[in-house]
Amino acid sequence: MSKAALEKLQATFGDAILETHSDCGDDTALVKAESWKPICEFLRKDPQLDFDYLVDLCGVDYPERAAQKQRIEVVLHLCSIGKRHRLRLKARVGSGEDEELEGAEIDSVTSIWPGANWFERETYDMLGVTFRGHPDMRRILMYPEFVGHPLLKTYPAQRTQPLVAYRTEEEAGVPLEKQAPFGDDEGLAFPRNDHDRDAEDPRTKLNPHKTEAI
């Protein structure tokens, strides 16, 4: 049925479908970035396709494609629970040979599949792709002051990042205590360190007779 989905996409969107294949049984369509959201809406709403489950959304960096404005490949994996078929959708965006990407943006699909929210934020955080129309386009794994996007293949492996002071609840915008669904007696504790150089080295608690690096 997924091959039929590829044929239906080609019949409906024509030149917006750049290529398709079913290598290793993975039915895949590469589409123009500007047609990303209309195609996704079609895949979700068409009763014969009914791709109601977003499995994954991520990005892949191909620096060698930078000159063709196709450096980042945004990849979407979809499944129809009722129809029992799957599909992979791809679009290419962005140029630039270093970390300063240009044109690395594409429409958000959170209005189609709400579960795309955190996936799109992760792709933005790790690769620098901006999702237009996303309700909360900010980092999700790295802290706001983090410089660069660590899954770009041009990210310097030896780069150091700035240390920042702990935030207050007002600065963070969320409570610093455990949040639902965790109760006070559930989940892992993450105690704070004060970064005081004169304070006791926490590593000595592991072995009080050994103070060199562990």
As a 3-state breakdown, the chain gives helix, strand, coil percent values, each rounded to 5, of 25, 20, 55
What CATH number should be reported for the domain holding residue 77? 3.30.460.80
Strands 130-132 and 105-107: parallel
Residue 108 near residue 116 (C-beta atoms within 8 A):
yes
Residue 135 lies in a domain: yes
Residue 178 lies in a domain: no
Residue 190 lies in a domain: no
pLDDT value of residue 71: 95
Domain holding 78, by residue range, is 2-166
For residue 172, how far is the Cα from the chain centroid? Answer: 22
Q: By mean pLDDT, which of 41-45, 101-105, 116-120 is the weakest? A: 101-105
Residue 8 lies in a domain: yes
> CA 77, CA 101: separation in Å to the nearest integer?
24
Residue 31 lies in a domain: yes
**Burial of 146: CB neighbours in 10 Å, binned 0-12, 13-18, 19+:** middle
Residue 189 lies in a domain: no
| Domains contained in the chain, number | 1
* Mean pLDDT value across the chain: 86
Name the token pair of 210.
């050994």
Confidence of residue 208 (pLDDT cuts 50, 70, 90): very low
Helix (H) or strand (E) holding 120: helix 116-127
The amino acid at 32: K
pTM: 0.79
**Burial of 50: CB neighbours in 10 Å, binned 0-12, 13-18, 19+:** middle
For residue range 149-176, list pLDDT tens digits in order: 999 999 998 899 988 887 788 877 767 7
pLDDT value of residue 185: 72
Residue 93 lies in a domain: yes
For residue 136, how far is the Cα from the chain centroid? Answer: 13
